[in-house]
Amino acid sequence: MNDVALGEIAQALGGELIGSPGLRIDRLGPLEGATPSTLSFLANPRYASQLAQTAAGCVIVAPAFKEAATQRGAAIVTDDPYLYFARLTQWWAQRVRPAPEPGVHPSAVVAASARLGQGVRIEALAVIEDEVEIGDGAVIGAHSVVGRGSRIGAGTRLAPRVTVMHGCTIGQRCIIHSGAVIGADGFGFAPEAGRWVKIEQLGGVRIGDDVEVGANTCIDRGALEDTVIADGVKLDNLIQIAHNVQVGEHTAMAGCVGVAGSTRIGAHCTIAGGVGIAGHLTLADNVHVTGMSLVSRSLLKPGVYSGAFPIDDNKEWEKNAATVRQLHALRERLRALEKKLK
């Protein structure tokens, strides 16, 4: 049986339950498409109009929507429905997903000098090199590779097909998604007569606790010192973090962001998808950059920054883009007119 009584949820997660604690819930779902056994939530007041129509058995709402929600059925009232919903997904996931059993799969290749904590799980065909340390309860996914001397903190999970190169450190309770590469060489070369001479990357990568790294995201090792990702940072998929970058606590970056070498990003920043950040810059705490902007200079004040060309019908865009290329000249012509008319 995969369903659960509403009362059990409220008991585990709190909130004011209005309605029958015996109501059976078999699914979490959005208001739209909900069934009488669906537990749903209203986090964004923009969707309040869906409240009247939804068939959801119970809706998690803020106090302001208590009346509207209970007129139509059961409700859980809580100050922050989105946060409640987040915790609910965690509780639900633990209920429906089998906990991974500890143990080393016989096909894994684990160096004799590796030190594995209590309750560690090493999945099929994983490779653990010499002098690696893996903390209690950590999971190393199938086909993942942990290079010589690296350390994986307690409770951290590497998905299948993750690479952690040698000499890197990952904190506790991190999640590293499939295809991520931690500790590949930074991109460093000295020019010599039209050729590039490699600068060996002698630093490592240091990742704090509670960090999430998305699928196919890359975090390069430092040239001399470490690349550093602080506690609580969340990185989405296909992000490039170059060598010696520092990302501050609880900063979040959406997919396809690129950060060039030695840039320091503050704490509590949000970097939207496709943003590029040039090298050797400083971004203050609480800087927020909107999608696909190029950060070409340091941003030393908290705030929201943008720099994308506005989308338009192709024909309109063509005319305006062509004019952009004459913009400075237009300004000069405007100045000339202003002079004439003074």
Ranges within 150-209 binding a second copy (CB under 8 A): 159-161, 163, 165, 175, 177-179, 181, 184-185, 187-192, 194-202
Q: Which of 8, 225, 264, 302 contacts a second copy by CB under 8 A?
A: 225
Site for a second copy in 257-316 (CB under 8 A): 258, 260, 268, 273-274, 276, 278, 289-297, 299, 303-314, 316
The Cα–Cα gap between 37 and 49 comes to 20
State both tokens at 298: 């340091």
State both tokens at 14: 């709190």
The Cα–Cα gap between 147 and 111 comes to 10
Closer CB to a second copy, residue 71 or residue 321?
Answer: 321
Site for a second copy in 113-152 (CB under 8 A): 123-125, 127, 141-143, 145, 147
In the complex, minimum distance from the CB of residue 310 to a second copy, in angstroms, rounded to a whole number: 4
Classify 83 in phi/psi space as left (phi over 0), alpha (psi -120 to 50) or beta: alpha
Does position 93 bind a second copy by CB under 8 A? yes
The Cα–Cα gap between 76 and 90 comes to 17
The Cα–Cα gap between 9 and 20 comes to 12
In the complex, minimum distance from the CB of residue 329 to a second copy, in angstroms, rounded to a whole number: 9
For residue 163, give the 3-state DSSP assignment.
Answer: strand
> Which of 241, 235, 238 is closest to 221 using CA atoms?
241
Alpha-carbon Rg for the chain, nearest whole angstrom, is 26
Does position 54 bind a second copy by CB under 8 A? no
Binding mask 229-248 for a second copy (x = CB under 8 A): ---x-x-xxx-x-x------
Phi, psi of 93 (to 5 degrees): -60, -40
* Partners of 265 in beta bridges: 247, 283
Phi, psi of 6 (to 5 degrees): -55, -40
In the complex, minimum distance from the CB of residue 225 to a second copy, in angstroms, rounded to a whole number: 7
In the complex, minimum distance from the CB of residue 275 to a second copy, in angstroms, rounded to a whole number: 9
DSSP code, position 299: B
In the complex, minimum distance from the CB of residue 7 to a second copy, in angstroms, rounded to a whole number: 21
- Tell me whether residue 166 is one of the annotated catalytic residues: no
Q: Catalytic one among 166, 177, 243, 280?
A: 243
Closer CB to a second copy, residue 74 or residue 253?
Answer: 253
Q: Which of 5, 13, 18, 252 contacts a second copy by CB under 8 A?
A: 252
- Is residue 283 within 8 A of residue 277, CB to CB? The reply is yes
Closer CB to a second copy, residue 17 or residue 257?
Answer: 257
Site for a second copy in 19-38 (CB under 8 A): 28-30, 33
- Is residue 144 within 8 A of residue 162, CB to CB? The reply is yes
Closer CB to a second copy, residue 67 or residue 189?
Answer: 189
Site stretch for a second copy (CB under 8 A), options 7-15, 50-58, 65-73, 327-335: 327-335
In the complex, minimum distance from the CB of residue 4 to a second copy, in angstroms, rounded to a whole number: 14
Sheet containing strand 74-77, edge to edge, reads 16-18, 74-77, 58-61, 38-41, 27-28
Q: Which of 11, 12, 82, 118 contacts a second copy by CB under 8 A?
A: 82
* Partners of 27 in beta bridges: 38
Site stretch for a second copy (CB under 8 A), options 11-19, 55-63, 70-78, 326-334: 326-334
> For residue 254, how many other CB atoms are within 10 A of its CB?
18
Q: Which of 105, 136, 282, 302 contacts a second copy by CB under 8 A?
A: 105
Phi, psi of 184 (to 5 degrees): -65, 165
> What's at 250, amino acid-wise?
H
In the complex, minimum distance from the CB of residue 205 to a second copy, in angstroms, rounded to a whole number: 12
Q: Which residues are catalytic?
A: 243
